[in-house]
Amino acid sequence: MLRLRANAVAKFKSHIAGGEQRAITAATSARKYSTESPLPESADVVIIGGGSAGCNTLYQLAKRGVRAVLLEKSKLTAGTTWHTAGLVWRLRPNDVEIRLLAATRDLLMSLEEETGHNSGWINNGGLFISHSPERLDEYSRLATLGKCFGIESHIVGPEQAQKLFPPLDPTSFTGALYSPGDGVVDPAMMCTALTKGATANGGLVVEDCTVSQIITGENLLGMKDVRGVLTNKGTIRTNTVVNATGVWGRDLIEPLGVFLPLIPMKHAYVVSETMDTIHQMLPNVRDHDFSLYFRIQGKSICMGGYENNPIMLNRVPGDFHFGLYDLDYSVFDTHIQGAVKLCPAFGSAGIKSTICGPESFTPDHKPLMGPDPTVSGLFHSVGYNSAGMMLGGGCAEQLAQWIIHDRPDRHMFAYDVRRFTPKQKKALNWATERSHEAYTKNYSIVFPHDEPLAGRNFTVDPFHKQMIQYGAVMEERHGWERPGYFLPDETVVVQPYDWYGYYDHPKNANTHYEEALKGDYTFGFSEHHDLIGEEALTCRHDAALFNLSYFCKLFLTGSQAKEAAEWIFTANLDKPINKTIYTCALNKRGGVEGDVTVSIVESGLGGLHDPIFKGRGYYIVAGGASAYHTKCHILAAIQEKAFRAVMSDHTEELGVLSLQGPKSREILQKITDFDLSNEKLLPMNSTAILTIKINPHYSCHVRVLRVSFVGELGYELHIPEESCNDVYNALMKAGYKESLRNAGYRALYSLSSEKGYHLWGSDLRSDDTPIEANLGFVCRKEGEYQGKEIVDRQRENGVSRRLAFFTLREQVPIWGLEAVYRDGEIVGHLRRGEYGYTLQKPIGQAYVQRADSSPITNQFLQSGHYQIEVMGKLYDADCHLRSPFDPKGERMLGIYK
């Protein structure tokens, strides 16, 4: 146990009492770049908040010629920035985040040359500690992905790790990952350098300026839009405001009817007395298994971490600018125990000071960024979960692009505030539960398949009880419960959140769901691998029923619905009524914001699935995990062009069952009089209203789409909520003799990957164009649509990277992020990895990049020797222009040989 020196408690109190004054002194080093002069009458952008997020955003906007003003109610770095640990790591299990981290690091290394002011960057390296084989596997995956971006890292043994950081006890851990390019930054010095660079380019900083109101009006379409800000120093007219207020991120915007799932918590670290074995160029240490970190500060160690029982706050007082809390050792002690085991010398050094301040956390431990979907001109950059220093530069660069060009360069969906629905944003209890669990699991191993225990059963579809009765192990996406796979003869129920037994909550006695999840806690094949394979193969050989109810379901109608649809979607929609078209929706950079099916429909009889409207309408179906993002993208396009069109959302009112497989037609035919064998009535890629016979005395109407996400003959039934249970039971009864079984999303994604279909957010993203993704066939050559200029240029000139499919020759599990080699050189990484049960091979998708940036051809892709690096080992792979499964698409036509 740690032994404190006799005067430690007195030093704690002294530090806390003097903390505010020392912080203000550090912050005022930047004040010569602020102004006491009157506010400007107007600005292109007003940034509220002078921490890392605000200063970085001001810098990036000013560099791009934007007239931006930063307003800080106290002094720069007030809030959470001044007391941050300032660690900067380079490796994350996500390619977008790695690029964001690299952008921050590059900026920190170049600021002094540009501004003449030291950014406070110290490149002393980083060391990740492992206590288990699974953790070392995770580090191997990080090292592999890092190679794709030129990041040097090495897996080392305990003795090598001790040479890098001598005070470590090599008997206390099993291995480590060393990343020499990691480092640490001083927040006050960084903000000073940023504001100097910003003001040199016309940016303006105003301290002691409290914003009391964001002034809004209403545009021609009835949507709120930003008009200015009201402060204690006057009013600024502006059409764009950036909310960069950190732990106060909810306070200013809630009067506008805007809500954010942002939870303040106390977060702490302690600073040791000087230690003879410590010097500034020792690497910073992250022990994920002990959930703690060491940051080197001169000859001292700053130690902190993420505990299971953090102290959550409702609000942080508005004047808590440089405030600190007393450190609660009953919470923090778990870190001290781990630190002493890892580094015994830390236990005898004593502690000279403590830092416990407010930090803002979110339900998925990712920032909240981008345009607010309900107030035009309002942008957010909050909720950095103690990672604001390392993500600040990269995120601000993307936010500047977002503000200027409507979209960022990178695929920022994981940070986009629109990843949460309005229902989620308003649910404070849900956000608190999820943010607590995200905090406690921040250092947990990121397995390919894991599910939260908090905030569950937030939104359930009409089939939820039946799914559970049939043994579904549920997953959560976008606030919805969906079946992952089905256990035979077993019922698994997600329990109410027990807060891991903390805050006087008893731990759940029923742990069946948690035990099921543990079967996926591996980088090898899941314990459920064969079971999922049975679901997939049943779909290929007989028939399977997928519950797709959380998919996004929209009707686009109105006098200019046709013009709106043609502008938003890339495909030719000039088709007959009841035709269903697969298409993309692009941003102005040509990136794919969503891929959807659009059915051309006419006015119906008034049901939810068959509404009444004038003229031609469009029924749009999109993936559920990005449903609100898709809806917002379509609405934004309608509003920008002022189309007289209306979009109605029926996502929660319609259930969807997808019946797929060779026997799907004969099963469905048993419960309808509609002649499914007549290809003229319901051909592939079409829709119709069918009458479903529930029993001799009762029937109901459903919308049927003959489409497939798995590459089989199949039908999607879009069912009014009140008829869902009856239709489900009728289908299961009709399919009993044909071996119909339920199947979950794990099988669905395996089947879709095997068929070569895209999954938005993985192998198709907002930073991929249709030409790069081999989707040029869904982009019409006539007429205009958003992003067409980019598509036409790439179609004519070619692209330097393209999506390709890879199968491994050995039975090795792949999950995505594995490096792809061509003739010994890295040409990309897998965006998605699955197991193709019909092919009996691992299969993955990757964008292959030419190093010389010249156009990539089929000949280039098909030549060369390909290998995939899995856990540091290379495996031979075959490259395919398209998936080798059913390349002619005959199975969807009902042609089975």
The distance from CA 528 to its chain's CA centroid, rounded to whole angstroms, is 25
For residue 785, what pLDDT is reported? 98
Q: How confident is the model at residue 32 (pLDDT cuts 50, 70, 90)?
A: low
CA 425 – CA 419 distance, rounded (Å): 10
pLDDT confidence of residue 600: 98
Q: What is the pLDDT of residues 303-360, one digit of tens each?
A: 999 999 999 999 999 999 999 999 999 999 999 999 999 999 999 999 999 999 999 9
Q: How many other CB atoms are found less than 10 A from the CB of residue 739?
A: 13
Long-range contact set of residues 382-385: C-beta below 8 Å, sequence gap at least 24: 382/53, 382/243, 382/244, 382/245, 382/246, 382/249, 382/260, 382/262, 383/249, 383/260, 383/262, 384/52, 384/53, 384/246, 384/360, 385/359, 385/360, 385/361, 385/438, 385/439, 385/442
pLDDT-based confidence at 9, cuts 50/70/90? very low
E strands, 362-488, where?
368-371, 375-376, 378-382, 472-477, 480-486
Strand partners, 45: 68
pLDDT tens readout for residues 180-220 = 999 999 999 999 999 999 999 999 999 999 999 999 999 88
Phi-psi group of 258: left, alpha or beta (phi > 0 → left; psi -120 to 50 → alpha; rest → beta): beta
Residue 737, both tokens:
């003799």
Nearest to 245 by CA among 112, 375, 367: 367
b/e map of 495-519 (b: 16 or more CB within 10 Å)? bebbbbeeeeeeebeeebbeebbee
On whether the CB atoms of residues 805 and 880 are closer than 8 A, the answer is yes
Of 135, 75, 96, which Cα lies nearest the Cα of 395?
Answer: 96
pLDDT tens track for 774-798 = 999 999 999 999 999 999 999 999 9
Is 621:551 a contact under the CB 8 Å cutoff?
Answer: yes
Give the model confidence (pLDDT) of 554-564 as tens digits.
Answer: 999 999 999 99
- Whether 448 has a pLDDT exceeding 70, the answer reads yes
Identify each DSSP E strand in 15-105 by its residue range.
Answer: 45-48, 68-71, 87-88
Residue type at 746? R
Per the CB < 8 A criterion, the answer to whether 478 and 624 are in contact is yes
Domains observed in the chain:
45-81+188-261+365-415 (3.50.50.60), 126-180+264-361 (3.30.9.10), 423-522 (no CATH), 543-550+653-738 (3.30.1360.120), 551-650+769-793 (3.30.70.1400)
pLDDT band at 221 (very low <50, low <70, confident <90, very high): confident
pLDDT of residue 38: 77
pLDDT by residue (tens digit) across 514-529?
A: 999 999 999 999 999 9
What mean pLDDT, rounded, does the chain reach? 95
Question: How much of the chain exceeds pLDDT 90, in percent?
Answer: 94
Q: Which residues contact 97 (CB under 8 A, 6 or more apart)?
A: 391, 414
- Say if residues 54 and 72 touch (Cβ distance below 8 Å): yes
**Distance from C-alpha of 440 to C-alpha of 365, rounded to nearest angstrom:** 10
Q: What is the mean pLDDT of residues 246-253?
A: 96
| Secondary structure (3-state) at 509 | coil
Q: Token pair 């001598």 is at which residue?
A: 166
Per-residue pLDDT tens over the stretch 297-315: 999 999 999 999 999 999 9
Strands ordered across the beta sheet of 687-695: 687-695, 698-705, 714-720, 654-660, 544-547, 741-743
* Mean per-residue pLDDT, 652-663: 98
Please give the pLDDT value at position 222. Answer: 83
Residue 76 pLDDT exceeds 90:
yes
368-406 residue pLDDT tens? 999 999 999 999 999 999 999 999 999 999 999 999 999
Q: Find the range with the poorest average confidence among 6-10, 99-103, 615-619, 732-736.
A: 6-10
Give percent of the chain above pLDDT 70.
96
| Backbone dihedral angles phi then psi of residue 463, each to the nearest 5 degrees | -95, 5
What is the pLDDT confidence band of residue 21, given thresholds at 50, 70 and 90? very low
The token duo for 296 is: 């080197």
The model's confidence at residue 37, banded by pLDDT at 50, 70 and 90, is: low
Whole-number Å distance between alpha carbons of 87 and 388 = 9
pLDDT value at 14 more than 70 = no
**Tally of residues, the chain:** 897
What's the pLDDT at 19? 41
Residue 872: band (very low, low, confident or very high) from pLDDT cuts 50, 70, 90: very high
User: What does the pLDDT look like over 537-547, one tens digit per residue?
Assistant: 999 999 999 99
pLDDT score at 219: 86
| 510 has a pLDDT exceeding 90 | yes
